[in-house]
Structure 1
Amino acid sequence: MEIKKVMVIGAGQMGGGIAQVSAQTGWETVQYDINMDLVNKGIALIDKNLSRNVSKGKMTEDEKAAILGRIKPSVSLEDAADCDLIIEAIVENFAIKEKVFKELDRIAPPHAILASNTSSLPITQIAAVTKRPDKVIGMHFMNPVPVMKLVEVIRGLATTDEVYKIVEEASIKMGKVPVWCKDVPGFISNRVLQVMINEALWELYEGVAPAENIDNIMKLGMNHPMGPCELADLIGLDTILSILNVMYDGYGDPKYRPSPLLKQYVNAGWLGRKTGKGIFDYK
């Protein structure tokens, strides 16, 4: 199957980034969210990202205009009716994803592949709410999507080799490096990453050191480009808590038990950069 038209569900940081890369690949791209304000906000961020590339000489104004011209704003899931690949990038909440995938399964053409950008929820469980579990797969992009090269490709229990191959080739066309893994809680990336971030938050909670010191240890001593506290704020503390909860429930291992401080920050609405305050203050 040749991919010609893509729909991205969710116009937030991840969804907008995926839509941008899809349009840059040359595909007609539908950018969907639940209201036009969110869609316009997402497209405005894409415009800003592309303008930065123009100012750096990485693309021309004509190329930028062509990319934006391939992005169609949408507030209706019915626009999935003629899409070849639909990538969901919404909140890490299974009940919400379940509702969306049931609708997409009803609307999308029989050949369409339904992909999820979930960072931790089981692909097999998501696939099971559809009548096409063989065509459901995980495409876990990294943040920021236009910059990061990796796509973690997760095969559900029923995902066919053909669907995996199509998604693998699509990822390469998008300028990404696809790396596959089995459908386990947290996959590869977050099973490793979130333990480190959570441990940093436990250290912060226990008063071992301030956040700046924890980050400097990892940046200057371990050659990490960004410390775990700064990275947590970039990802979003609510997202991190959701991922840790999925892994704690999935494995029953106390090493995934979220730090009480993480829960406290999320309850306070201190979610990181997106709210102006998290572990660090961005206001």
Structure 2
Amino acid sequence: MNIGVIGAGVMGMGVAQSLAQSGHEVTLIDIAEEILNSAKKKIHNNVRFHALFNKDFNKTADEVLSLITTTTNYSELSDADFIIENVPEDWDIKKSVYEKIIKISKGDCIFLVNTSCISITKIASLTDRPDRVFGVHFMNPVPVKKTVEGIKGYHTSDVTIRHTNDLLASMGKEIIVVNDYPGFVSNRISHLLMNEAAYVVQDQVADPAQVDDIFVKCYGHTMGPLATADLIGLDTVVNSLDILYDSYQDSKFRVCPLLRKMVDAGLHGRKSGQGFFEYETEEMFIK
């Protein structure tokens, strides 16, 4: 089985790594060789890091990378059975990607949309095969998360869901299938939490560490809302909230001014080295 992965950012790298660790051949595509070379180095480091905390994992970083081909050429996806799209939450960017892949992909290829908030039905309208478009919202860090959120568009077929379920099962993941409305379940709820946490910091009710300590130590969450926002990327959180606001026209999704200010200042979280917290590395795994 040949699987194409579009986008070599944090999510795309994680998806490609998780697929390769499961023995799948992957074609990873992005707009520049520099991005792809950086992605390969990070995947190499992340596989080694993953092995330290997973004693049953018996593949080397080189073995995993041998299954990942990188390219900037979309024509390399012409034989893909699945294409998993992970580009930023920007409608114009997504539209341009689907305009390309619909021309070169084979007719029975399934498009899996790894989006945070954009409607799967809306994305499917860009294609000539809406029945073969399915939302698969991987969680970060992808290689260690065992469950994904699946989003059934208006036209998504049961056959497409079944084939996708088989793929995910081969990766050691299960899927929870929900219906299609912007933000779905996970981000429609979680982004409200992260946004309100930012308001709490902006209003000087508490500092970021105190906010997250309450959720970790009092509620038993693995990670607080602000560390989660840093992991996702504050720029991605802001883009997603803007999509939710535009989609529902509901003021509850209005972006906290502090969040937007931080993004404007280049404080994007883990990937930039600083967000609500400071980070020494860009490692995507959490001990």
Whether 1:236 and 2:233 are equivalent positions in the alignment is yes
Correspondence for 1:58: 56
Correspondence for 1:253: 250
Equivalent residue pairs, number = 279
Name the amino acid aligned to 2:199: W
Name the amino acid aligned to 1:187: F
Report the Cα distance in structure 2 between the residues aligned to 1:125 and 1:75, rounded to whole angstroms: 26
Normalising by the residue count of structure 2, what TM-score does the alignment of the two structures yield?
Answer: 0.93
Report the Cα distance in structure 2 between the residues aligned to 1:209 and 1:51, rounded to whole angstroms: 37
**1:39-64 deviations in whole A, cap 9, x for unaligned?**
11112122112223445543345x54
Correspondence for 2:223: 226
Query: What runs of 5+ residues in structure 2 fail to find an aligned partner?
Result: 281-287
Whether 1:76 and 2:68 are equivalent positions in the alignment is no
Asked if the contact 2:269–2:277 (Cα under 8 Å) also holds between the matched residues in 1, the reply is: yes
Normalising by the residue count of structure 1, what TM-score does the alignment of the two structures yield?
Answer: 0.94
**1:60-113 deviations in whole A, cap 9, x for unaligned?**
45x544322111111111111011000011111011011101110110000101
Name the amino acid aligned to 1:123: I
Name the amino acid aligned to 2:5: V
Report the Cα distance in structure 1 between the residues aligned to 2:266 and 2:143, rounded to whole angstroms: 27
Asked if the contact 1:54–1:64 (Cα under 8 Å) also holds between the matched residues in 2, the reply is: no
Asked if the contact 2:30–2:72 (Cα under 8 Å) also holds between the matched residues in 1, the reply is: yes
Whether 1:179 and 2:176 are equivalent positions in the alignment is yes
* 1:159 CA drift (Å): 1.0
Report the Cα distance in structure 2 between the residues aligned to 1:70 and 1:93, rounded to whole angstroms: 29
Name the amino acid aligned to 2:183: G
Higher deviation after alignment, 38-47 or 4-13: 38-47
Report the Cα distance in structure 1 between the residues aligned to 2:36 and 2:56, rounded to whole angstroms: 25
Question: RMSD of the alignment, in Å?
Answer: 1.4
Name the amino acid aligned to 1:21: S
Asked if the contact 2:262–2:275 (Cα under 8 Å) also holds between the matched residues in 1, the reply is: yes
Report the Cα distance in structure 1 between the residues aligned to 2:111 and 2:34, rounded to whole angstroms: 25
Report the Cα distance in structure 2 between the residues aligned to 1:192 and 1:54, rounded to whole angstroms: 33
